[in-house]
Amino acid sequence: MEELRDLRRRIRSVRGTQQITRAMSLVASTRLRRIERLVDPARTYAGALRRIVVDIAARTPPWAHPLLKPAEVAAPAYLVITSDRGLAGGYNAEILRLAMAHISRVPAGGRGRITVMAAGRKGRDFFRRRGLQPAKEYVHLPDTPDERLARRMAEDLLALYVDGRIDSLHLVFGRFMSRGSYRPDVIQLLPVEKAQQAGYQDRGQGKGEGEDEDEDWDGGENGDDGQDRNRVRDVHQDPNPGGERGSGREEGDGRESHARTDEDRGDFDLPLTYEPSPESVLDRLFPHYLVSVVYAALVEAKASELAARTIAMDSATDNAGELMERLTLTYNRARQAEITQEISEIATGAESLR
């Protein structure tokens, strides 16, 4: 009897857990559908601004603007976006593992000046346990990413860079691929990289559902060795749309027209002019660009978190169902053995009364 009571108690407990995990999966899936509608617009807008910023960087010498100054790797900073809550499988662990891998590659001379900023309670607690007190903490993140939060984060990041407390800034977050997948990623925000340094990635390989070429807003450095891997296709526009292609000369002036390559002008060759100067445009544009990139990263991180939670809760629900089947089978066998024993005792007692 004691064994049967324990089995019934375990079955009720597992059934209750299964109901909770199923409800959490449904809630996460519903929220994911809402957040998923924000991913493409945020990614597209950040990508458009990224192209302009990179084009300005390609036209401006590094010494002409502080945002273009090459990093000395003396005081790097990392903004790590995780979640406030767990029950999302290995989502937070993968983000933090990637962040620590990049931090560990910082030369010994710069490790004492590493600045960590944590968005999400899981990341904050992780760095605190390892003696890396975050310089900025953003916890209790809203269920729907807020542009005001992104603006406050961008202002804090830019202030640290302008004050000279950091010389480079990297963003670590989960890139949303599809409802069934995400990928931890790292991108460099400061200093602004030129196109051939940014390592634009070709999303054509391994694309998830619903992805398009607008995902290239990051100019990410997802490769471990820092090499320019999986570069995007050349999207140069013809600077002389009315002339003949391949003639080697422009009409009207007879000057030789050289084909631009990635090594000459990077991955983008935008037919833009900047007034009064590229440097002044960068001054006005970059804060807005930084807000858009941080907002897009928050949106993608939230979508990745919800996708990971949906997958984890679906898996937990299935595991609970399998465990209930095994416990029910064990319970039925034990109950059958007990009933058989009771029948045998009754038969033996009746036989002894004859």
Range of lowest pLDDT (46-50, 69-73, 172-176, 285-289): 69-73
Going by C-alpha positions, the residue among 281, 273, 112 that lies closest to residue 192 is 281
Beta bridge partners of 181: 178
3-state SS class at 78: strand
User: Phi and psi for 184 in degrees, rounded to 5?
Assistant: -60, 140
- State pLDDT tens for residues 97-156: 999 999 888 876 656 688 899 999 999 999 999 888 999 999 999 888 888 999 999 999
- State pLDDT tens for residues 222-237: 444 433 333 333 333 3
Beta bridge partners of 77: 115, 169
Largest CA distance in the chain: 126
Q: How many CA atoms lie within 13 A of 196 on its CB side?
A: 9
Give the whole-angstrom CA distance, residue 133 versus residue 98: 18
Residue 245: enclosing H or E segment and its boundaries?
A: none
CB 79 within 8 A of CB 170: yes
Listed in sequence order, the residues at least 6 apart from 48 whose beta carbon sits closer than 8 Å to its beta carbon are 217
Q: How many residues does the chain have?
A: 354
Give the whole-angstrom CA distance, residue 98 versus residue 43: 22
Going by C-alpha positions, the residue among 257, 206, 260, 254 that lies closest to residue 229 is 206
| Assessment of whether the complete model's pTM goes beyond 0.75 | no
Tell me the pLDDT band of 252, cut-offs 50, 70 and 90: very low
45 sits in the region (left: phi over 0; alpha: psi -120 to 50; else beta) called alpha
Cα dist from 5 to 26, 160, 328, whole Å:
32, 62, 12
Give the whole-angstrom CA distance, residue 189 versus residue 196: 15
Whether a cis peptide bond, with omega within 30° of 0, leads into 276 is: yes
Q: Domains of the chain by range and CATH?
A: 39-234+273-310 (3.40.1380.10)
Q: What is the pLDDT at residue 61?
A: 75
Provide the b/e sequence for 135-148 (b: ≥16 CB within 10 Å).
bbbbeebeeebeee
- Mean pLDDT computed over every residue of the chain: 78
Give the whole-angstrom CA distance, residue 47 versus residue 50: 5
CB 136 within 8 A of CB 156: yes
pLDDT exceeds cutoff 50 at 201: no
